């Protein structure tokens, strides 16, 4: 019985993580189209890359950067290491171009 409860709790935690990631991906795709005025196909690629390559906090700061939400950036920055902040910034600088190139091929 102990193992069944532990397995159930583990599944709930994994499902919750997936929901955050999926929600961030959807928000990122939406903001990419609206704020960056990038085609949907490119934004979907950016969203997938972010989901695959960035942590939850890195995606949160990326979303805040695109949205121009300085307060959210400051909030998240407090809990992130300098390398994670740099990773999110480099992702922001590189991923849209990479995805546009992929879409053009």
Q: What is the pLDDT of residues 67-78, one digit of tens each?
A: 999 998 888 888
Q: What is the pLDDT of residues 1-44, one digit of tens each?
A: 444 443 333 333 333 334 567 899 999 999 999 999 999 999 99
The answer to whether residues 89 and 54 touch, using CB atoms and an 8 Å cutoff, is: no
User: What pLDDT is attached to residue 20?
Assistant: 63
Q: Is the pLDDT of residue 88 over 80?
A: yes
Token duo for residue 16: 């919750």
Please report which confidence band the pLDDT of residue 79 belongs to, taking 50, 70 and 90 as the band edges. confident
- Complete DSSP assignment for 10-45: HHHHHHHHHHHHHHHHHHHHHHHHHHS---HHHHHH
Helix extents (H) in 54-81: 56-67, 70-77
Flag whether the pTM goes above 0.85: no
Mean pLDDT, residues 70-95 taken together:
91
Whole-angstrom distance, CA of residue 7 vs CA of residue 23? 24
Token duo for residue 49: 């890359």
Whole-angstrom distance, CA of residue 65 vs CA of residue 88? 9
Q: What is the pLDDT of residues 47-64, one digit of tens each?
A: 999 999 999 999 999 999
């Amino acid at each position: 019985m102990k193992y069944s409860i532990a397995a159930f709790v583990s599944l709930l935690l994994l499902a919750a993580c997936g929901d955050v990631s999926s929600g961030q991906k959807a928000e990122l795709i939406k903001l990419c189209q609206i704020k960056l005025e990038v085609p949907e196909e490119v934004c979907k690629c950016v969203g997938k890359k972010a989901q695959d390559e960035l942590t939850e906090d890195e995606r949160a700061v990326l979303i805040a950067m695109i949205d121009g939400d300085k307060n959210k950036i400051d909030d998240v920055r407090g809990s992130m290491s300098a390398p994670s902040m740099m990773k999110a910034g480099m992702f922001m600088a590189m991923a849209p171009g990479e995805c546009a190139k992929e879409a053009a091929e």
